[in-house]
Structure 1
Amino acid sequence: MGGGPAGVVLGLLLARQGVEVTVLEKHADFLRDFRGDTVHPSTLTLLDEIGLGTALAGRPGRKVDSLRATFDDGSVRLADFSRLPGGHPYVLFLPQWDFLDVLADEASKLPTFTLLRSTEVVDVLRDGPRVVGVRTADGGEVRARLTVACDGRGSVVRQRLGLRPREFAAPMDVLWFRISRQADDPPGLDMRIGAGGLMLCIDRGDYFQCAYVIAKGGYDEVRADGLDAFRARVAARAPALADRVGELTDWADVRLLTVQLDRLRRWSVPGALLIGDAAHAMSPIGGVGINLAVQDAVATARILGPALAAGRLTDADLDKVRRRRRFPTVVTQAGQRLAQRRLVDPLLHTTGPVKVPAPLRLLGRTPMLQRLAARIVGLGARPEHASS
């Protein structure tokens, strides 16, 4: 259940193996703004391997081959994706609805795949200790040999199963908004760092998608200061956008993302498995959410698909997914926690000018280190392959 990247990729790959699959999506369509839309090189390669690369290339994405950071005393390039091996030396920013449309269009060609939209899951069905399906908001039931929860960090299935994740502190929340982009604005991905925090500007062609980082729980205070004060903060962080902050005319133009970072110790119970954010909510640092979700799905289909198709899936098989995917999850979350502790938290409490730290100045002068940083971010820890 869950018609996000993990759910639709998993449904597609299982249906290709002849498994009868029903994907339940709460909403009537995929059109949600400010959802994760960062697709890394390792995931683009994986999509090539499952035959979706060409269809995805036809969608209006934005390719970014470097990451730079602008401080009060200058700018440095932090990562150079252009020298990565493989066919995708860049990060692709693609609206999640386009990404999901490609997946759903391909899956809909398969006779064993069904996508039920406007179908909200409210509970699980049990036969003794075993999960045998889900109950929907309209009182209906969907029964299955295996229920896979891909319903995100607020997972209903996780809650109903009584599974509690281990939570890690996150010092920040994020305010998302759009500001128009002009032809002479620099392309790419820019991180603006100064007193009180940071802002990320993602080049989306005719507009910037901006992420303004605030202290955890600080949204009410930001709103109490007023929209004019927030516009002034944005203009101070990104002076080149000062003439456009008036495009933020109402708080409805600004969306709050409450940052969570957590991980389940158990990803399965008899009859049910959790993957993606339902099993491990990620910080927005690095934009890795879609990528881990897709790779969870590919690993799940590869590990469980043959047993499902043959009708011999066991409860012990389910934990093989956790054992396979735990390492990249733990490593990625450790990197996010380090970045939050060493970079984000100190910045949120800084009041004076912020200069380029010596380690980042060295990084900005050393192309080899920029390529290494790109490899860590773009390829990640033990990326999945469709046939591995």
Structure 2
Amino acid sequence: MADPTCVIIGGGPAGMTLGLLLARAGVQVSVLERHGDFLRDFRGDTVHPSTQRLIDELGLGRRFAELPHSRLHQVDWPVGGDQTVVLADFHRLREPHPYITMVPQWDLLNLLAEEARQEPSFTLRMDTEVTGFIHEAGRVQGVRYRTQDGTTGELRATLTVACDGRWSIAHTDERMRPREFPVPMDAWWFRLPRTPWDAAALTPHAAPGRIAVVIPRAGYLQIAYLAAKGTDARLRAAGIEQFRQDVAAIMPELADRVDALASMDDVKHLDVRLNRLRRWHTDGLLCIGDAAHAMSPVGGVGINLAVQDAVAAATLLAAPLRRGTVTPADLATVRARRLLPTIAVQTLQRLMHRALITPTLAGRRAGPPKLVLALLRRFPRLSFAPAYLIGVGLRSEHAPPFARRGSRGLAGAGTGRTP
């Protein structure tokens, strides 16, 4: 395995985006992914308007549109009968794609990998787990790895970028321990059959002690079930029949299909974390995406922030990497650029935890405060603000000039399968 200029740990959205962009800048880059493929269910599948704009700028719009997908144009909250209040209206965004596209993450990652492989300076190594860092002369000089067949080795690089998520190997360094924020809930993910009569909007439901969010997907409904943190063992001990009853009680319109859940093995638990590194780098090592800031699932913004981090990192570091010298000051510019958007989103998520999730899970309320719903009903234009914060965010990144390619069709064009 030839030594690259940059080695990226993790082939998720941040890692694959950064790898593609740096390769287009002519940087020798290797992405190491410990799995043999990208096929993992219930990963973040939301592609937000700002990310879709980036996909267009990279010349991948038409190919992205051909992936199986569905589109979310708004977030509705039921208020009784057939009435709803629009919490976030993406139609109001002045973006080329004013909607969130739900696309299987493995399809998006395969698209980025296929495109990156067209660049002679890019290498993707699957079934390759990073086991540690090479420390020499007071800096990180690369990584140690182990392949699926047990082969071990070292890969030296000018820069190592950790894109390996909330349990990043970079966190083993005392200087890179994240600051944890309290989180009131965990999430459980599962699928239910979809019918032609199901709503096409993302629709939350709330009852004392639990919240469920229905996400319409191409061919099925993806459900996020939120309950108090630390209750996974109790839910599983109660068994699938009790869980079906809980789901039917909070979403009566889906009661006729909860039998699709054969056992609790069909219900996947997510240990929700919300944290942020105080510093995102040491000499020779940078963390971005969830490795730098784990996000709550509220708003589904994790992928968008990770991709935006990757774009900023590629824009700021491509030139130093081509020169072969990346200083700690260079790495600090990435955090300086991405810290405000990260803090803004995490602050919004913490407010949502406090105002909506904690009171609901504690049984004090079933949904948003009545005043908020009344204001949104009376002044629908207020739904622009949450739509913008979720769909675009602060300091939205554009593809750097070296990574742009001629238009191959817009991300909203093509023959993608939508509801």
Query: Following superposition, which runs of at least 4 residues in structure 1 exceed 4 angstroms of deviation?
Result: 71-74, 351-356
Check 1:160–1:183 CA distance in 2 against 1; reply closer, same or farther (3 A cut): same
Match of 2:19 in 1: 11
Match of 2:113 in 1: 104
Match of 2:58 in 1: 50
C-alpha distance in structure 2 between counterparts of 1:124 and 1:93, whole Å = 36
- The residue correspondences of 1:337-352 to structure 2 (distance < 5 A) are 337-350=350-363
Match of 2:336 in 1: 323
Aligned pair partner of 2:383 in 370, 375, 384: 370
| SS of equivalent residue, structure 1 residue 331 | helix
| SS of equivalent residue, structure 2 residue 170 | helix
Q: Does 1:205 find its partner at 2:213?
A: no
Deviations 1:70-103 (A, max 9, x none): 2467531111111211210101111100110110
Aligned pair partner of 1:91 in 94, 97, 100: 100
Q: Does 1:148 find its partner at 2:161?
A: yes
Aligned pair partner of 1:120 in 120, 129, 141: 129
Please, which runs of 5 or more residues in structure 2 have no aligned partner? 1-8, 402-419
Question: How far apart are 1:355 and its partner, in Å?
Answer: 8.2
- The residue correspondences of 1:268-307 to structure 2 (distance < 5 A) are 268-307=281-320
TM-score normalised to structure 2 length: 0.89
C-alpha distance in structure 2 between counterparts of 1:254 and 1:355, whole Å = 26
C-alpha distance in structure 2 between counterparts of 1:161 and 1:29, whole Å = 31
Check 1:107–1:213 CA distance in 2 against 1; reply closer, same or farther (3 A cut): same
- The residue correspondences of 1:52-91 to structure 2 (distance < 5 A) are 52-71=60-79, 74-91=83-100
Check 1:19–1:354 CA distance in 2 against 1; reply closer, same or farther (3 A cut): closer
Check 1:355–1:300 CA distance in 2 against 1; reply closer, same or farther (3 A cut): closer
Question: How far apart are 1:126 and its partner, in Å?
Answer: 1.0
Q: Does 1:308 find its partner at 2:316?
A: no
C-alpha distance in structure 2 between counterparts of 1:36 and 1:347, whole Å = 24
C-alpha distance in structure 1 between counterparts of 2:184 and 2:89, whole Å = 28
Match of 1:129 in 2: 138
Deviations 1:331-376 (A, max 9, x none): 1100001100111000001167668712112213322112232122
TM-score normalised to structure 1 length: 0.96
Q: RMSD across aligned C-alpha pairs, in angstroms?
A: 1.6
C-alpha distance in structure 1 between counterparts of 2:238 and 2:249, whole Å = 16
Match of 2:280 in 1: 267
The answer on whether the counterparts of 2:27 and 2:321 sit within 8 Å (CA) in structure 1 is: yes
C-alpha distance in structure 1 between counterparts of 2:270 and 2:133, whole Å = 27
- Number of aligned residues: 388
The answer on whether the counterparts of 1:65 and 1:80 sit within 8 Å (CA) in structure 2 is: yes
- The residue correspondences of 1:24-35 to structure 2 (distance < 5 A) are 24-35=32-43
Check 1:259–1:353 CA distance in 2 against 1; reply closer, same or farther (3 A cut): closer
Check 1:153–1:355 CA distance in 2 against 1; reply closer, same or farther (3 A cut): closer
| SS of equivalent residue, structure 1 residue 109 | coil
- Greater CA drift, 99-108 or 184-193: 184-193
| SS of equivalent residue, structure 1 residue 306 | helix
C-alpha distance in structure 1 between counterparts of 2:322 and 2:245, whole Å = 58
The answer on whether the counterparts of 1:71 and 1:194 sit within 8 Å (CA) in structure 2 is: no
- The residue correspondences of 1:158-197 to structure 2 (distance < 5 A) are 158-160=171-173, 162-197=175-210
1:247 is matched by which residue type in structure 2? A
C-alpha distance in structure 1 between counterparts of 2:329 and 2:388, whole Å = 34
Question: How far apart are 1:312 and its partner, in Å?
Answer: 3.4
The answer on whether the counterparts of 2:187 and 2:271 sit within 8 Å (CA) in structure 1 is: yes
- Greater CA drift, 67-76 or 261-270: 67-76
